[in-house]
């Protein structure tokens, strides 16, 4: 029987998927010095610059986001991030 992954391993895998959703395929970065590279493990720089958030969203808006995900093949995180950047750059004059 294969050994079950530890909670930390599973969280690291989820984190790597989040990084991939935002930036595409992550580069190989080790959290700690090692003789072997650990693929898909985000480094402390990525973690310092990103934070997972949870918020309520009207169902009709979520349906539109999911339709855009299906149309564009981008991740939900990427669609929402791009939309927020465009909105803030356009209506608030913030540079994107």
pLDDT digit string (tens) for 53-93?
Answer: 999 999 999 999 999 999 999 999 999 999 999 998 887 77
**Mean pLDDT to the nearest integer, 33-41:** 52
Do 1 and 44 fall within a single domain?
yes
Rounded distance, CA 29 to CA 85, Å?
27
Do 34 and 10 fall within a single domain?
yes
Task: Judge whether 95 and 89 are in contact, CB under 8 Å.
Answer: yes
Do 23 and 6 fall within a single domain?
yes
Domain of 22 in residue numbering reads as: 1-52
Do 58 and 86 fall within a single domain?
yes
Q: How many domains does the chain divide into?
A: 2
Cut 0.75: pTM above it: no
């Amino acid at each position: 029987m294969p050994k079950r992954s530890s909670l930390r391993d599973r969280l690291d895998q989820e984190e790597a998927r989040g990084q991939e959703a935002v930036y595409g395929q992550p580069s190989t970065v080790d959290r700690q010095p090692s003789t072997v590279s650990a693929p898909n493990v985000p480094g402390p720089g990525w973690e310092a610059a990103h934070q997972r958030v949870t918020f309520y969203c009207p169902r009709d808006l979520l349906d539109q986001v999911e339709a855009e995900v299906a149309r564009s093949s981008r991740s939900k995180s990427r669609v929402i991030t791009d939309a927020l950047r465009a909105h803030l750059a356009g209506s608030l004059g913030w540079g994107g």
